[in-house]
Every structure is written in C-alpha cells, then in structure tokens.
Structure 1
Amino acid sequence: MSKEQERKIKTCRESRVVQTHRVFPYDLNQHKTLFGGKLMSLIDDTASISATRHSRGVCVTASTDSLDFLHPIHEDHSVCVETYVTGVGKSSIEVFAKVIGEVLLTGERYLAATSFMTFVALPTEESPTIIVPLIEPQTIEERMVCDGYDQRRKKRVSIRQFNEEFAETVTLAVPWMTKGWSEFTD
C-alpha cells in the first residue's frame, strides 16, 4: 500500500478550535479598537492548534495568506477566533479563521475578520515521515471554504515563487553603517 493510500481522512470539525477573549484597554490601537497585531497573534495561536490537532505533529507557520479586517472590535466587546483545517498538501496545512466580535452588553455578534494561514508539518526523530491526513468538509460553510482550496494554493505557490526571486534582490547591508547610499541605487 502506498503512502498516499495510507492517508487518513479527518473532518474539519476534528480540527476546530475556538478561543474567546475580552478586549481590554491595553489591547487597543489609537483608533480605540482592537490592535491588528494583537488579533494576528490570536489568529496564529488558534490556527496553530488546529494544524497540530489535524496532523498530530509539529507544525510551524509558513505564511499568513490573507487577513481581511471587516469590522472594528471595540473595548469591552469579546473577540472569538474560530479556526479549522480547510485544505492539505503533503506536509502543508491550510487553516481558515473567522473572527466574530460580540457586544457583550447586548449579545449582538458580527463578523470582524477572516484569514487563511498555511502551516507546515515537520518531521521529528519520533515521526520522521509526515503523512498529513486529508480533509473532509461536512457543513455548508466548510464545503464552500474548502472548495476554494486549490485556487488559493495556486495563488500561494505563485506568490512564494515571486518572494523567493524578490528576496535575491533585497540588500542585507546596514544603511546606517554605510558611508553613502550609492549601493542602494542603480
């Protein structure tokens, strides 16, 4: 039996993680809404649990493929980050995050952000061969999100190729230690 035939299939639900937090004054930006970097950290933390739960292996963040801020989250609201696996490669794992804000005093809920992240399952001494399980959506939302995986993956591959080429042109010189800026221009 080949390794591809040995792959297990898991549902999106099996990788689902939900974290809810209250937004405090120290979480705010100058606009008096949740600081984007704080939300990014919450998403990465939650998504990493989904990726690890799905693969049952060591996973690291490979990229934040998209993060769309749709509605500001205010002080004293709650922020709920829900993540689950929506696509897999041989060792890569795509995780979808939806961020729901809630006005705690009224119960009004709103979609605050969505995000797609990619993680990579790494081999270890204990598990030198990585076989990431396939994913099977069950709900209408899961099917809709998972159906777009191939298109998002192609876009990621294209962007990664561009970034690798782009990185070759980025200088590592220390500008404040350089006598002139001539080496930074043509």
Structure 2
Amino acid sequence: MVEKLPASISRTIQTKLVLPPDTNHLGTIFGGTVLSYIDEIAAITAMKHSKGVVVTASIDTVNFLSSARVGDILLLEGLVVSTGRTSMEVYVKVECQNLETGEKTTTTTAILTMVAVNETGKPTPVLGVEPETEADYKLFKLAQERKERRLKVKELLGES
C-alpha cells in the first residue's frame, strides 16, 4: 500500500500586489508575470509535499480568464492534486481582489507537473496524495485523463 499525505499538507497561499512595472500598455498584468508567479507557487507547493527540491516538468494548461490591474491584489493558491512515482500534479488558482470593493474574481487557473529531484538532479520518489475536499476529489479523479493526454501529445511529437 502506497503511503499518502493529506492534500492540505501541500496547500500554499501567496498574496501579490500588482505594481506598474508588472503591467502592459493597457494597465493590465503581463501574462508572463502571472506565469512566473504560478511556477513559483507550484514549486513551493510541490516542495512542501515532497519535502525536497523539485523542478518544473510541464505546464499542462493555463487558462487566462480575466485580467488584473495596477493596485489589485492577487491571491494565489496551489495544491498537489495527484502524484506519480516521482512527479506531482499541482493545481494553481489565481484570484484578483479589488481593494475598494473587496470583490474577488478568478483570473487564471493552471495545472503543472513538478518532479522531485535529489542533490544530483535525479528524480526521487514521492508519497501519494489523499484528496480531502470535494474540489480535491474532482481534480484527483481527472488527473489520470490529463496524464494520458500528456503522454499522447509526447508520443505524437516524438518526445517519449
């Protein structure tokens, strides 16, 4: 039986302020800046689960749903939703909070695959994950489909 850690062990939350250098000529945050934040929180989330160093293996999906403007607060939440032998699938949700109204809007969602590595950079085994909430279970159940889709794409591109 594979030992599992509760999903809450990896749950990570960060808060960022959108500043003028983070934005484009329209006054909205650069997508690349959001991607950088997503990669960072995914790494921290996976490190908490694996208790070690990780590298980004892939960014499976990124959905830009709405934008954030200068002065908005970004709330990022990461969670390990499934694991392989050495890999962890991390779900990241980014919300924008308007300071004046307090209203929150989901701006971006993403799914990344992180791989635990040892001091020489070789992949190292990780424990399984046990979903705890209804949302965790939904993401966990769909993980196998996402993995199969990633493998098919790698095969089609000759990357296997």
Tell me if TM exceeds 0.5: yes
Matched residues in 2 for 1:63 and 1:10: separation? 23
Counterpart code for 1:95 = V
| Same amino acid, percent of matched pairs | 33
Is it true that 1:141 corresponds to 2:125 in the alignment? no
Per the alignment, residue 179 of structure 1 pairs with none
Q: CA deviation at 1:129?
A: 8.0
Instruction: With a CA cutoff of 8 Å and minimum separation of 6, indicate the structure with the bigger relative contact order.
Output: 2
Structure whose CA Rg is larger: 1
Distance 1:144 1:131, change over 3 A: same
Aligned length: 159
Equivalent-residue separation in structure 2 for 1:119 and 1:162 (angstroms): 22
Match of 1:23 in 2: 18
1:100 aligns with 2:98: no
1:51-90 alignment runs, 5 A limit: 51-90=46-85
The alpha-carbon deviation at position 53 of structure 1 amounts to 0.8
Question: 2-side partners of 1:161 and 1:67: how far apart?
Answer: 21
Q: Is the 8 A contact 2:85 2:125 kept in 1?
A: yes
Report if aligned partners of 2:86, 2:123 keep a CA contact under 8 Å in 1: no
1:157 aligned partner, one-letter code: L
- The 1-side partners of 2:59 and 2:126 are apart by 20
Q: Give the whole-Å Cα distance in 1 for the aligned partners of 2:156 and 2:91.
A: 23
Q: 1:143: how far off?
A: 1.1
Q: Which amino acid aligns with 2:135?
A: E
* TM-score, scaled relative to structure 2: 0.93
For residue 131 of structure 1, what is the aligned residue in structure 2? 125
d(CA) in 2 for partners of 1:31, 1:66:
25
Match of 1:159 in 2: 153
Correspondence for 2:3? 8
Q: Please give the root-mean-square deviation of Cα atoms over the aligned residues, in Å.
A: 1.8
The partner residue of 1:121 within 107, 116, 122 is 116
The aligned residue for residue 183 of structure 1 is none
Alpha-carbon distance in 2 for matches of 1:76, 1:133: 40
Identify the residue that residue 43 of structure 1 maps to in structure 2: 38
Write the deviation string for residues 123-171 of structure 1: whole angstroms up to 9, x where unpaired.
336xx88321111111111111111100001111112223345xxxxxx
Shift of 1:41: 0.3
Matches of 1:31 and 1:161, distance apart in 2: 40
Counterparts of 1:20 and 1:80, CA distance in 2: 5
1:102-141 C-alpha deviation (Å, 9 max, x unpaired): 001110001111000001112336xx88321111111111
The aligned amino acid for 1:130 is T
Q: Aligned partner of 1:51: which letter?
A: A
The structure with more strand, counted as a fraction of residues: 2
Q: Distance in 2 between matches of 1:78 and 1:118?
A: 26
Contact 2:11 2:79 in 1 (8 A): yes
Gaps spanning 5+ residues in structure 1: where?
A: 166-186
